[in-house]
Amino acid sequence: WDEEGVVPGSCAKCHTAGGLPQMLAEGVVTSASPSNGFQCATCHNDLVEFTRYEAGAVKFPSGASIDSGDPDTNLCMNCHQGRESGVSVDAAIGDAAPDDQAEGLRFLNPHYFAAGATRWGSEAHGMYQYEGKEYLGFFDHGDGDVNQCKDCHSAHGLEVKTEACAECHEEIEDGAELQDIRYTLTDFDGDGDDEEGLAYEIETMAEDLYAAIQAYAADTLGTPIAYDAHAYPYFFMDGNANGVVDPEEAVRDNGFAGWTPRLLRAAYNYQWASKDPGAFAHNGQYVIQSLYDSIEDIGGDVSAMTRP
C-alpha cells in the first residue's frame, strides 16, 4: 500500500501495527497508514509486563464463533482464519446450476495461512464442504498436549519449534523433515506409498485436483485455464493450452471469468490447500477429505484413493 498511502479497513486488522488492537478494543477496524511491520503493542497490552491482549471467542468468515480456551491462540486466530469460507462460496453460487457459467460468479480467494480455520475443520467451515458428506472437526494435536499455536510456533517469527516436534516424532531427530511426519498408515492418495509424510499425501491429491480442474475447464467449458500461485486472480485463460501461465498471460485482464459452481468449489479448495503449507500438521485429514470430494465432484478419478 505504499503507493496508495492507506491500508483499507478490510485489510488493516492484520496488515497494520494498530489494526488488531483497535478491533479488540472497538470491535471495528478503520483504514490506516501503512506501518513498517508489526510492533510490540500489536499483541502486548502492557509494554512493562509484556502481558498480551485477552482475546475472547473469534468470529470466522463462516459466521462460526470459536473460543479455543486460550487467549493467546484466540489472538493468533483473529488473523490466521482466512477471508472466505464454504458458507461464502455457497452464498456466491446461490441457486445457479452446477455447470452453468453464472453471470457475476467470480473466484473467491480464501487468503493465506488460514491455519486457525484449518485446525477447527468443519467447525470453522473454512474449506468448501460438499452436501451429504461428513467432515472432521477440531484436530486434537497430540491428544491435547500440543494444541496451542505457541506450542509449535515461535510467537514472534512463527518458525516451527522442531525440537518440540521431536519429542513425539522421533524421526525428526534422525534428520527427517517436518513434511515426512505421518500419524496413520493409510495411503490416502493411492500412489502405493504408505510411508511418505502426510504432507506428500496432500500434495499428490492437490496435483490430481488441479489436473481435474484443467480437464473440466478445457473439456466441459471449452476454455483451457492454468494457475499461478503468485499472480492475482490466480486462475488465467491458457490461450496456447500449454498448461502453464506464461508471463504475458499473467495479467488481470486475462483472468479466467467463466466460473461455474462446480469449478469454483474445486478451485477454492485447491487454493486453500495451496496457501496453508502447514495443513498436514494443522488438520491434514480434514484437508484430504475436502480435496477428495473436490476431485470426485469435478470428474477426477478417486478409485485408488481413500477418504478419511
| Tally of domains in the chain | 2
Same domain, 203 and 286: yes
Under 8 Å between Cβ of 238 and 221: no
The verdict on residue 236 lying in a domain is no
Tell whether 5 and 119 lie within a shared domain: no
Q: Are 276 and 245 in contact (CB under 8 A)?
A: no
**Same domain membership, residue 69 and residue 45:** no
Residues 137 and 207 in one domain: yes
Q: Tell me the CA end-to-end span of the chain in Å, nearest whole number.
A: 42
In a domain, 106, yes or no: yes
**Residue 65, SS3?**
strand
Both 71 and 190 in one domain: the answer is: yes
At 31, phi and psi to the nearest 5? -60, 155
In 3D, which of 200, 260, 201 has the Cα closest to residue 225? 260
Same domain, 62 and 193: yes
Q: How far apart are CA 106 and CA 124, in angstroms?
A: 22
The H or E element spanning position 172 is none
> Do the domain assignments include residue 245?
no
Q: Which residue has the cell 480455520?
A: 117
- Identify whether 159 is part of a domain: yes
Q: What pLDDT score does 187 carry?
A: 98
- Shared domain check, 14 and 121: no
User: Is the dihedral angle over the CA atoms 112, 138, 126, 45 positive or is it negative?
Assistant: negative
Q: Is residue 251 part of a domain?
A: no
What is the rounded distance in angstroms from the CA atom of residue 16 to the CA atom of residue 9? Answer: 10
Please check whether residue 242 lies inside any domain of the structure. no
pLDDT of the residue at 170: 83
pLDDT value, residue 163: 87
| Domain enclosing residue 283, as ranges | 54-223+258-298
Q: What is the pLDDT of residue 261?
A: 99
**In this structure, is residue 6 part of a structural domain?**
yes
Whole-prediction pTM: 0.95
User: In one letter, which amino acid is 253?
Assistant: D
Per-residue pLDDT of the chain (308 residues; tens, 9 = 90+): 777 889 999 999 999 999 999 999 999 999 999 998 899 999 999 999 999 999 999 999 999 999 999 999 999 999 999 999 999 999 999 999 999 999 999 999 999 999 999 999 999 999 999 999 999 999 998 777 788 999 999 999 889 998 888 888 888 877 778 999 988 899 999 999 999 999 999 999 999 999 999 999 999 999 999 999 999 999 999 999 999 999 999 999 999 999 999 999 999 999 999 999 999 999 999 999 999 999 999 999 999 999 99
User: What single-letter DSSP state applies at residue 229?
Assistant: T
Same domain, 64 and 48: no
Q: Are residues 76 and 48 in the same domain?
A: no
Is 83 inside any structural domain?
yes
Could you tell me if 182 and 289 lie in one domain?
yes
Same structural domain for residues 164 and 34?
A: no
**Which residue from 167, 151, 128 is spatially nearest to 287, judged by alpha carbons?**
128
Contact 125, 99 (CB under 8 A): no
CA 115, CA 180: separation in Å to the nearest integer?
19
Long-range residue pairs from 195-199, CB within 8 A, at least 24 positions apart, any chain? 197/280, 198/280, 198/284, 198/285, 199/279, 199/280, 199/284
From the number of C-beta atoms within 10 Å of its C-beta (0-12, 13-18, 19+), residue 44 rates as middle
Tell me: do 44 and 81 sit in the same domain.
Answer: no
In the numeric block, the cell 488488531 is attached to 20
